[in-house]
Amino acid sequence: MANKLISIQTEPFSVETAIADVKAVSNGIGAVVTFLGIGRDISKGEVITDLNFEHYPGMAEKKLEDIRARALLNFNIIEMAILHRIGPIAIGEDIVLIVAASAHRNDAFMACEWAITELKRVTPIWKTETTSKGAVWVSQTP
């Protein structure tokens, strides 16, 4: 089931399907926390007209698998899904989704927060934002 729970894809994903896939793992799940990253139209005071994401194929998926495995090991969670889109993304479209499930809410919140921070820190996915000044590579590190 892990490959269903980890994905880097060009097409939009379904938040509802990802949550259902995570919930299907166990009846012991009492809390599901999600993080949904969305393409916004302003960055550093500039209007963004286009977003594009590129990745290092194979390595990016490996990093997401590693983040999921470490979250399952280090947090008291039952399951986690991590989905990330690449290619051109329209303003307002979904970019990244993390779903963390646990018996109790606090564990899922902590795991979800850690996972998005770790994803931005270690995953070889890069973003360009196009403004009236041109295209700019954006650091994913918070």
Condensed to tens digits (0 to 9), the pLDDT of residues 8-48 reads 999 999 999 999 999 999 999 999 999 999 999 998 888 99
Q: Could you tell me if residue 92 is left (phi over 0), alpha (psi between -120 and 50 degrees) or otherwise beta?
A: left
Degrees to nearest 5, angle at CA 124 with 120 and 130: 80
Which residues are CB-neighbours of 117 under 8 A, at least 6 positions away? 142
Overall number of domains in the chain: 1
Condensed to tens digits (0 to 9), the pLDDT of residues 62-92 reads 999 999 999 999 999 999 999 999 999 999 9
CATH of the domain at 118: 3.90.1170.40
Range of the domain at 32: 2-138
User: Are 101 and 34 in contact, with CB atoms under 8 Å apart?
Assistant: no
User: Are 109 and 32 in contact, with CB atoms under 8 Å apart?
Assistant: no
Average pLDDT, integer, range 84-101: 97
